[in-house]
Amino acid sequence: MDFFDKLSKKATEAYKITADKTGKFAKDTKLKIKMNDLKSQIDEIYEDIGKKVYEKHLREEDISIKNDLEEECTKIDVLSDEIENLLHQSLELKDKKQCNKCHTQINKEDKYCHECGAKQEENILSQTESQITIEEIKEDEEKNNLEKTVEVESHVSPSISENVDFTDEGYDEDNEDEIDDEEN
């Protein structure tokens, strides 16, 4: 019986390790997909900026970044921050960090970058502090998503309310009968 107990224990340990690694791999893949989606959005904004600049060039107008491109630049900043947060989450899943100088992925405990040789800062965060940092990142991400939702709704809502009459005066029973007749 001792043999089967050991075998069962080893199989259970192997299952737990495999399940943990598979879960981390799936989370990392989702993070990478999200980062690529955000990078595509940034590329689209770059394209819009290029179109605006070229249109100004054709009309021989001056280009003012503050007036003409501020909104696009702000969107790029927000998306870039979100990509950076996702990258840090991905690195955390793999127990890695980025080199301070060349941004190569290296092990957390490495004191020097294997790519450029730069000395790395000591990671003095305790596990509790790093967990708090991860929670802060998630809260910031939720806040950014909420701000984006509010921004999108503020752009959509005025156009909807312009076309819809919400007062009782706008409702016409006779017109409703005409609509019903047309449908039949």
Query: Radius of gyration over alpha carbons of the chain, in Å?
Result: 27
The model's pLDDT over 128-179, given as tens digits with 9 standing for 90+, comes to 455 556 667 667 777 766 666 666 555 544 444 444 444 444 444 444 444 4
Q: Would you state the structure tokens that stand for residue 114, as one six-digit string?
A: 């294997």
Q: What is the span of the domain harbouring residue 28?
A: 12-120
Residue at 16 is within a domain: yes
The model's pLDDT over 55-111, given as tens digits with 9 standing for 90+, comes to 988 988 888 878 878 889 999 999 999 999 999 999 988 888 888 889 888 998 888
d(CA 48, CA 71): 11
For the domain that residue 92 is a member of, what is the CATH number? 1.10.287
Residue at 93 is within a domain: yes
* pTM, rounded to two decimals: 0.55
Residue at 108 is within a domain: yes
Residue at 29 is within a domain: yes
Residue at 90 is within a domain: yes
Instruction: Provide the domain count of the chain.
Output: 1
Q: Quick one: CA dihedral 67, 71, 74, 76, positive or negative?
A: negative
